[in-house]
A = this chain, B = another copy of it.
Amino acid sequence: MISKILVPTDGSKTAQKAAKYGVDLGKQLKASVIVLSVIDQRSFIGRAVPAAETARHVIEPIEDYLREAAEGYAGEIKKMCDKNGVQSKTVITKGHPVEEIVKAAKKSKADLIVMGSHGRSALAAAVLGSVAYGVMHKDTKIPVLVVKR
């Protein structure tokens, strides 16, 4: 019995397509949807520069901007849920997308993860983008429904 579906989004076109699928599925299953948007720390904490040495006045505006974007993506999907009478909740976290998706899925006891095959940072040629690949690879038993580009 599927009663909770996790729908992660990075605002990409495929994520939006997957979200639509996830919401439709939630409606048909009378399941609730947890919308997750991850503030990808890799995008503002450079690998070459240790985080502690990056000036706070540089990081904060970037983080604010990313948070706003994340809330925007998640909000759109929440609206879609409302419109379809699907119970939903949005979660915004900060970290590595793969880790955060798996963590949120476990924490919320999701029965299914519905996600796009390729997100923003995906190489066009790969079968799965790095995030979908990572979630698939993680040692979690939660099934993953992959919506293709």
Contact = CB atoms under 8 A, between A and B. Distances in A.
Identical chains bound together, number: 2
In this complex, the interface size class of chain A, counting residues with CB under 8 Å from chain B, is 20 to 34
B28 A1 contact: yes
Contact of A136 (B21, B24, B137, B146): B146
A137 B127 contact: yes
A25 interface: yes
A127 B133 CA distance: 8
A85 B117 CA distance: 32
Contacts of A143: 21, 145-148
Interface in A59-116: 112
A133 B127 CA distance: 8
Nearest to A112: B145
Interface in A135-149: 136-137, 140-148
A45 interface: no
A94 to B, nearest CB: 26
Contacts of A25: 2
